[in-house]
Structure 1
């Protein structure tokens, strides 16, 4: 098992969003800062948008874990499972004895039913500092187009330079002690393949660790990333994947693998050209030939 080979207490790249693995990228740092300000200022409605897998759920859970439950009532809700009766009960203003505010954190808010959206529209019509505050995660637009005056927060992908610290952080949280490592080329390949989306990175690197444990790899390069992607694509094609992707995802992965292989081929050709120039230069002078000429020739084979 790859967790044993790399000395991990638990999977570092599991699918389930876990706030213990929160990593503050530039985009996520801006988002959590704005959400904290919204809680403090009592802004009525905050809409958090972002593509699938960008980290909206873990952001919601991180925020929920920071809110002072001694002052406010916090409810984390899955939008697709929310019923009108439950929403009415949760959105009811607290009694005068309770004080504080009710904060509704709704994940997958774009999956809300039309009736629930209408109720939220009525709740959002209240002035700022109202006793009920809404945080809607996942909606690309205001639910039903009727939620008024929302503050919007947009989540974006990881930058290329954030990939390596992101991976290192998750491995550390899972009990890792510096193994495995990732070359700059591997991180660039991972960023390109996943588009900087955290969930995509997690899926690829989870497979990469399995591949690495079998081959006892402690430093991953771009060819290892390509091999892991090809294994994933083969599993999906054969129906053996535990979490199969749809046809569009498979096509995208295949295209990215082909691009990565072309890039690696080009880099290898350029390296061979440079090495040939160096060999020619060494052969022009007797003294230079002591600089491992045979080793360079072997490299070109």
Structure 2
């Protein structure tokens, strides 16, 4: 692995979100500001959207690292394509009050009592719903209803919704979500990093795993990284990891733009091969020519080739065995000759 070759303590560009590698780009700094504002309000919805790989999950992981569990109970729910009833069951399970109950009314009652108990203990409750674009309109409406819980004038539940760009469009355009829109107190879309943020991002992650300057990076390499990743953190991590692996294989101490371009082109080729195979498959199925493998003559030739290959491999093994025997038998003679010459 390249981290051993370069003396790193871990993989700096792993794809699994890890709060250790949190990097505050301009767009992530703005997102954290909105999250902080939302937490200060203690009510309603905060909506964060971004393309795949933009860093939404890393943002959540960083947020979870910063909250005080004595004052705030934060629960994360990775949603699936759930309807309203399933959503209620998922929320109850996330709060640890599901208890095998299947009746929706009973589950809602349990959720409310749990939220009241948390408030009486001096803790606010935050529900973070990831992949919100997979939720049905009914499930989103159910979340709005849950956000209405309060004791006196104190809201019992605050909700952060994180999703891909289509969720942002759904929230803006759907007439059925008007009441939920009115409860959104802040929203932010995570943009890709800018070109001048790629270098500090990469150096930050490398520094977290003990990088001491080997390998070094030419300035043009960072431009190539940005060009091929578009500034999307996950894409950048994918390319950077493969580049470091290629550099380790070639025992490089400096990474240049040519290596980044070469690795990125290779990755594009790997990604396009399955697509090309899928596009060609219908043509192969519809072809009127009988596949060669079905011809008896082809099978006979193939069997003959395989038999000849086995014969050649057997002959090669015999020759290698004779060479090994000859070398081993000659070793004592060479040793005796050396001692005689020395004498």
Aligning the two structures, in what range does the TM-score lie when normalised by the shorter sequence? Answer: 0.7 to 0.9
Partner of 1:109: 132
1:87/1:116 contact within 8 Å kept: no
Superposition pairs for residues 146-295 of structure 1, below 5 Å? 146=178, 147-148=180-181, 149-150=183-184, 151-237=186-272
Partner of 1:5: 5
Which of the numbers 142, 145, 153 marks the counterpart of 2:177?
145
State the alpha-carbon separation in 2 of the partners of residues 219 and 238 from structure 1. Answer: 30
State the alpha-carbon separation in 1 of the partners of residues 214 and 36 from structure 2. Answer: 35
State the alpha-carbon separation in 2 of the partners of residues 97 and 31 from structure 1. Answer: 30
1:163 is paired with a residue whose SS is helix
Larger radius of gyration: 2
TM-score normalized by the length of structure 1: 0.73
Partner of 1:70: 70
TM-score normalized by the length of structure 2: 0.65
State the alpha-carbon separation in 2 of the partners of residues 94 and 179 from structure 1. Answer: 55
State the alpha-carbon separation in 1 of the partners of residues 208 and 220 from structure 2. Answer: 24
2:37 is paired with a residue whose SS is helix
2:43/2:157 contact within 8 Å kept: no
Unaligned residue ranges in structure 2 (runs of 5+): 96-110, 279-343
Unaligned residue ranges in structure 1 (runs of 5+): 248-301
In the TM superposition, what whole-angstrom CA distance separates every residue of 1:106-125 from its partner, at most 9, and x where no partner exists?
Answer: 11111124442121121345
2:147/2:155 contact within 8 Å kept: no
Greater shift after overlay, 75-84 or 208-217?
Answer: 75-84
1:164/1:182 contact within 8 Å kept: no
1:157/1:198 contact within 8 Å kept: yes
Partner of 2:158: 133
Q: Which has the higher helix share?
A: 2
State the alpha-carbon separation in 1 of the partners of residues 71 and 196 from structure 2. Answer: 39
1:53/1:197 contact within 8 Å kept: yes
| Shift of residue 102, structure 1, vs aligned partner | 1.0
Matched, 1:86 2:111: no
1:136 is paired with a residue whose SS is strand
Partner of 1:292: none
State the alpha-carbon separation in 2 of the partners of residues 216 and 21 from structure 1. Answer: 26
In the TM superposition, what whole-angstrom CA distance separates every residue of 1:52-111 from its partner, at most 9, and x where no partner exists?
Answer: 111001001111111111012110110127633132464533225323221001111111
Greater shift after overlay, 117-126 or 189-198?
Answer: 117-126
Over 3 Å counting, the alpha-carbon distance change for 1:13 and 1:135 in structure 2 is same
State the alpha-carbon separation in 2 of the partners of residues 182 and 43 from structure 1. Answer: 46
Partner of 1:275: none
State the alpha-carbon separation in 2 of the partners of residues 237 and 26 from structure 1. Answer: 33
